[in-house]
A and B are shown apart, each in its own frame.
Chain A
Amino acid sequence: MQAIGNPEYPYNIYLVGVGGQGILTIGEIISQAVNLQGIPVNFYPTKGMAQRGGFVKAQLRIGKDLVGPAIPEKGAHLILAMERSESLKAVRYLKPGGDFLLWDYIWAPTAVMLGQASYPELAVVREQVQNAQGNFLVVSPSLLPNFEGNPAPDNVFLLGIALRRTSLGKVVTFSAVEEALKNRFKRFTSSNLFALKAGYNLEL
């Protein structure tokens, strides 16, 4: 297995979003794919107190048999963020030179909608990622394709984009992710496989 002995390991992924977006499912899929490749992994999701609508994060550490669950600050090779404002909470974990992939969805908290609190501009996130010396990649949710008349699963679409556009592709193979998706989604297999491919083939 190529992972062992490589000083780049553990390969660390920090995921953030809002409960209900499927960010933890991405983490689960990557873990399963990595396991299928025979590489050790530790996946540590934090759901917090909310059933839905609260901040959610997850930490993936790949390639070491015994590894502490939490990624150190400046330690993540890849950040996957599914909500603009929440993505700021991941910046401190970004490794200089690492990839920061933002699905630029805006899930405004009530106070923001009522004009009682402000919401960050995209430029703010970009600037913070640049200060952290990361590679900033942003994808607009308007690029999400439809599958049989309904929006394709955006979390898996983002995973497809990450496989092609970030260092994730060096760690996890497309076919292992496909396999993991087939195992995970017995009912919505085709829409998820479609989303993965569409994300992978997306021209930016």
Chain B
Amino acid sequence: MSKEIVTGNEALALGALRAGAKVITGYPGTPSSEVIGFLLSHPELWKEKGAHVEWSTNEKVAFEIAAGAAWAGQRALVTMKMSGLNVAFDSVISIAYSGINGGLVIYVADDPGVSAGMAEQDTRGFALMSDLPMLEACSVKEAYLIVPKAFQLSEETKSPVFLRLTTAVSQSHAPVELESPYYLPLEREILLERDIQKYTKAGALICMAQHRDLIQRLEKSKELIREMKLNELSLSKKKGQLGILASGVSYSYLEEGLLLASQFGLDPEEVSILKVVSVNPFPEEEAGTLLENSELILVLEELEPYMEKNLILLAHKLGLRRRIVGKLDGTLERIGDYSVREVLLGISAALGLKIPPELFYGIQAEKLAAPRPITVCAGCPHRGTFMAINNGIRKAGFKKDQVMVTGDIGCTILGMNPPFNTVWNEVSMGASLGIAQGYVHAGMNSPVIATIGDSTFFHAGIPALINAVQYQVPLTLIIMDNGWTAMTGMQFNPGTSEKFLPQGSKRVDLEKLIPGLGVENFWVVDPYDYRKMSEIILKALKSEGVKVILARRECAIQAMRRGERAGKVKVNPEKCTLCKSCLTITGCPALSIGEKTMEIDQTLCNGCGLCLFTCGYKALEREEP
């Protein structure tokens, strides 16, 4: 055994290995990506021992692969961020109805407080909707220990089990006692079971029978969760009036909150606590005991008041009149992540303690800080694409506010910010293409452009392009292909160069795929070649039908990591007039304003040369590498 510092996501990956998972799949998404990321960077832990780990094309595919393996009797884990669960959910419901054979754990990372963008979607609602058990860990250490329990629960109830972490746990690093060996493979025979009653959805009788089985499996999980003692109830040492029900990261703030509240008259020994790990099904027995032993109960859960509603329902069923403090009485918010402040606010509202608000709020000096909108990195090929889109729109005789440019998920959305202000909106993976078609059908008489990254296009853009081709919708799709799933931390995807794909993989080339979908107006261009890029965009804006531009050049960060530069750019001090056009148009982080001339940070600049096109004085000079 060794005590090593690992992240919540790494702990989860190691927990899955320890539980003998044979198939582990996922699609990148902050804050969940490091599970697969960790495993792929440590193949020595699992590869020789027969496990399979992969980045799949999207979360639905990832889930189906894991579910197939679990039907075949193996243990499987699938990982995703909360938005990914929306993509996978069609299959999740169906597999929930059928049940599984081997263990299937669905790890979903939620993001209260939105540190990574997208919705504050509370995945616990999906567990309720699909009648599947869901466990939640409150710390990195617990994330490691909970995975084998989730697999046990899954196999004993023959049901997929959700495992939920929130950002604060998945991204935290903490010491964990790791058992050795890290991987305990299970030697299992493949299970081949032919049973259409279980494995198909053909007909009402089959579906309703499966629905009944599903509900029974959730009932069975209640008993098992009690036997496994997953939830922890500790009744107060002294008779007290306050009970606290807490789950996930909210629980981890409890000790600190009680200690602080004790300075304002609370006796921590008079408080009963129920720590909820099985956020679905709700632990009615333990919660009932908590209700009987307390006069009022504080519920601490981030986002939606699911446990709170369950508790109110339970109190009603038991005929107990109890005051319940949480979100529904207005004490706490449904928005944002919690800290010790919410524990104190809750205790103070529950018991009427006079805790001065100054304790919670520091000096808000951040309003004096300079705004720092994020832009694309120095050398990013997308910089050339955004500059060329703006140029193409102008040359085609339109103003920027006449041309709809829909955006998509990933780095490509950074075109929404200055200096480009190119992209108008961001919805979900692949949505740029559907939204664009909607604008066309709404009656736009100026061009419509959709922008999307390579990984996003593979993930969910292809069906929408097929739709546009079928109906011959006049629009221009620009695929910004940088060869990586970059914003989530540089994962490979189907279009990544074979040099960087796992051994035995085959690259799927967009250059071949797109004409195969029936696209007739198709160009492949290097976005560093600004003139060509602008010319092609102009041509596309003036052409009929579906136009696709594949703007292709590898992510500069990845190229620079391998020491590959596109060239070297220098300022000629004789010619630079400090007009700042280069900075105004490119917004490149490598450029700064010196005393007499512009300056270039050579550690950031990769020599893309896009700034050369903005200089009217030929003061920027580029050398080939």
Contacts and interface: CB of A to CB of B under 8 A. Distances in A.
Interface of A: 10, 18, 28, 31-32, 35, 40-46, 48-55, 64, 66-75, 85-86, 88-89, 91-94, 108-114, 117-120, 124-125, 128, 131-132
A110 B583 contact: yes
A42 B139 CA distance: 9
A51 B557 contact: yes
Contacts of B564: none
Contacts of B141: 66
Nearest to A60: B173
B76 interface: no
A128 B580 CA distance: 33
Smallest CB-CB A-B distances: 3 pairs: A92-B362, A68-B253, A91-B365
A27 to B, nearest CB: 8
Contacts of A112: 370
Interface string B145-176: 00000000000000000000000110111110
Contact of A119 (B138, B169, B370): B370
Contact of B362 (A32, A93, A110): A93
Interface in B350-375: 359-366, 368-375
Nearest to B358: A74
B592 interface: yes
A67 B363 CA distance: 24
B589 A68 contact: no
A128 B368 contact: yes
A110 B375 contact: yes
Contacts of A114: 580, 583-584
Given A40-B174, A42-B173, A73-B341, A132 B371 contact: no
B370 A117 contact: yes
Contacts of B363: 91-92, 94, 128, 131-132
B5 A35 contact: yes
B463 interface: no
B318 to A, nearest CB: 31
B388 interface: no
Interface in B329-343: 337, 339-341
B335 to A, nearest CB: 15
Contacts, number: 163
B559 interface: no
A59 B255 CA distance: 18
A71 B164 CA distance: 22
B487 A69 contact: no
Given A43-B173, A51-B557, A68 B256 contact: yes
Interface in B1-43: 3, 5
Residue in A28, A52, A68 with the greatest tally of chain B CB atoms within 10 Å: A68
A72 B377 contact: no
A111 B371 contact: yes
Contact of A44 (B171, B375, B419): B171
Given A68-B168, A72-B360, 11 more contacts: A35-B175, A44-B171, A48-B116, A51-B377, A54-B374, A66-B255, A70-B339, A73-B362, A110-B418, A111-B418, A117-B370
A35 B597 CA distance: 49
B174 A91 contact: no
A51 B589 contact: no
Contacts of B580: 113-114
A108 B369 CA distance: 11
A197 B535 CA distance: 56
Contacts of B138: 66
B249 A53 contact: no
Contacts of A68: 168, 249, 252-253, 256, 339-340
A73 B592 contact: no
A134 to B, nearest CB: 10
Contacts of B253: 68
Contacts of B589: 52-53, 110
A32 B5 contact: yes
Contacts of B593: 113
B174 A52 contact: no
B6 to A, nearest CB: 11
B365 A92 contact: yes
A41 B175 contact: yes
Contacts of B172: 42-44, 69
Contact of A89 (B5, B256, B369, B373): B369
B168 A40 contact: no
A45 B171 contact: yes
Contacts of B377: 51-53
Contacts of B339: 68, 70-72
A72 B341 contact: yes
B538 interface: no
B115 interface: yes
B140 interface: yes
B168 A69 contact: yes
11 contacts: A35-B3, A42-B174, A50-B374, A69-B171, A73-B341, A85-B369, A91-B365, A92-B361, A114-B583, A120-B370, A132-B362
Interface in B411-444: 411, 418-419
Contacts of B371: 109, 111, 117
B587 interface: yes
Given A74-B362, A91-B362, A51 B5 contact: no
A88 B249 contact: no
B117 interface: yes
A28 B486 CA distance: 23
A44 to B, nearest CB: 5
A55 B355 CA distance: 33
Contacts of B115: 46, 48
Contacts of A113: 580, 583, 592-593
Contact of A86 (B140, B360, B369): B369
A18 B373 CA distance: 12
A85 B362 contact: no
A43 B5 CA distance: 9
Contacts of A86: 369, 372
Contacts of A111: 370-371, 373, 418
B365 A88 contact: yes
Interface string B97-140: 00000000000000000011100000000000000000000111
A86 B584 CA distance: 23
Contacts of A71: 339
